[in-house]
């Protein structure tokens, strides 16, 4: 059997994203979601989510662009003069120049994990906004803090190129995806060494924000035909109802390019798609790793 773990990123960033994820939980299409302690819609989402699905929320750690959980004066190397976390490329530049204080990183990660716990989440897994948890100097800090909280399941975003390449790829995604995968390989010892653990495969980096049913179907068929049994495969999505997205997301250089509706529809269709592929393709059974189907 091949267990498919569908993960939706950015829970708590907007109400539109929250609602799409709630609906996908109800349709047994979404295995888990990653919650942003920095998200402005986090508390509103947690007030509306069905109790049965709260346990499926993990941590989507954030070190860029959003308001920090820590007081800005406690983490001065991480924030702008306006008190928000740095823009993505500003943080990367500061990391390359050695201008980020590791203690301040640990302080903010600890504050984010603490806030999620204070809001009643059990935090079953950890990943991060822009996959920054695999930046070489950040990985050991983040691993250590998460283990303090008893969380040992991490995302290791090494794209399975044998499955996702070639194919129609969004412009500009290849260098970014390859760079993130390279960072993840260099950090594998931090996240794949017990007690930390990761899935066997990972998909969605090359097509991040541009997933559709055809892309997902090609991956699932390839997994069946490879014939490797006893695998766990994480596939990431960014579902949302685009008509309800706030202006700041629609105008954002990255999120503004996402096809949220296609990603949402691909997830909605996934349970039926898995049944169809299992019926027509030889190979190991593909199964969504939902709580009610766990062995």
Regarding pTM above 0.85, the answer is: yes
In a domain, 102, yes or no: no
Q: Which domain holds residue 34?
A: 2-66+107-293
Q: Report the C-alpha gap between 135 and 88 in whole angstroms.
A: 12
Instruction: Return the CATH number at 111.
Output: 3.20.20.370
Give me the residues paired with residue 286 across strands.
2
In a domain, 86, yes or no: no
Q: Report the number of distinct structural domains present in the chain.
A: 1
Please report how the helices 139-148 and 102-118 are oriented relative to each other, as an axis angle in degrees rounded to 10: 40
Q: Report the C-alpha gap between 15 and 19 in whole angstroms.
A: 6
In a domain, 206, yes or no: yes
In a domain, 178, yes or no: yes
Mind listing the pLDDT tens digit for each residue in 204-257?
998 888 889 999 999 999 999 998 899 999 999 999 999 988 888 887 777 778
In a domain, 91, yes or no: no
Please name which of 8, 17, 65, 66 lies closest in space to residue 45, comparing C-alpha atoms. Answer: 17
Write out the two tokens for 103: 């203690």
Mind listing the pLDDT tens digit for each residue in 53-64?
999 999 999 999
Residues 58, 125: contact at Cβ < 8 Å?
yes
Mean pLDDT for all residues in the chain: 93
| Residues with pLDDT less than 50, the chain | 293-295
**Amino acid 295: pLDDT:** 39
**Amino acid 168: pLDDT:** 61
**Amino acid 133: pLDDT:** 98
**Amino acid 254: pLDDT:** 75
In a domain, 76, yes or no: no
In a domain, 9, yes or no: yes
Q: Report the C-alpha gap between 31 and 48 in whole angstroms.
A: 18
Burial grade of 92 (CB within 10 A; 0-12, 13-18, 19 or more): middle
In a domain, 219, yes or no: yes
């Amino acid at each position: 059997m091949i267990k498919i773990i569908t993960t939706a990123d950015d829970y708590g960033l907007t109400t539109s994203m929250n609602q799409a994820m709630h609906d996908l939980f109800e349709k047994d299409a979404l295995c888990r979601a990653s919650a942003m302690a920095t998200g402005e819609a986090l508390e509103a989402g947690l007030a509306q989510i069905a109790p049965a699905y709260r346990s499926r929320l993990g941590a989507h750690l954030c070190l860029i662009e959003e308001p920090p959980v820590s007081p800005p004066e406690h983490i001065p190397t991480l924030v702008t003069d306006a008190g928000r976390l740095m823009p993505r490329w500003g943080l990367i530049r500061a990391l390359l120049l050695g201008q980020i204080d590791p203690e301040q990183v640990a302080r903010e990660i600890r504050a984010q994990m603490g806030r999620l716990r204070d809001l009643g989440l059990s935090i079953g897994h950890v990943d991060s906004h822009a996959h920054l948890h695999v930046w070489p100097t950040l990985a050991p800090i983040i691993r250590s803090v998460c283990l303090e909280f008893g969380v040992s399941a991490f995302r290791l975003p090494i794209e399975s190129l044998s499955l996702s390449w070639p194919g129609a790829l969004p412009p500009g995604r290849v260098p970014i995806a390859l760079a993130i995968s390279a960072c993840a390989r260099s950090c594998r010892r931090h996240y794949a060494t017990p007690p930390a653990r990761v899935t066997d495969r990972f998909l969605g980096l090359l097509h991040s924000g541009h997933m559709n049913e055809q892309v997902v179907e090609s991956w699932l068929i390839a997994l069946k035909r490879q014939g490797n049994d006893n695998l766990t495969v994480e596939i990431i999505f960014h579902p949302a109802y685009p008509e309800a997205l706030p202006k700041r997301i629609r105008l954002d250089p990255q999120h503004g390019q996402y096809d949220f509706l296609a990603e949402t529809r691909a997830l909605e269709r996934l349970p039926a798609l898995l049944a169809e592929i299992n019926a027509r393709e030889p190979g190991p059974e593909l199964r969504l790793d939902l709580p009610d189907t766990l062995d």
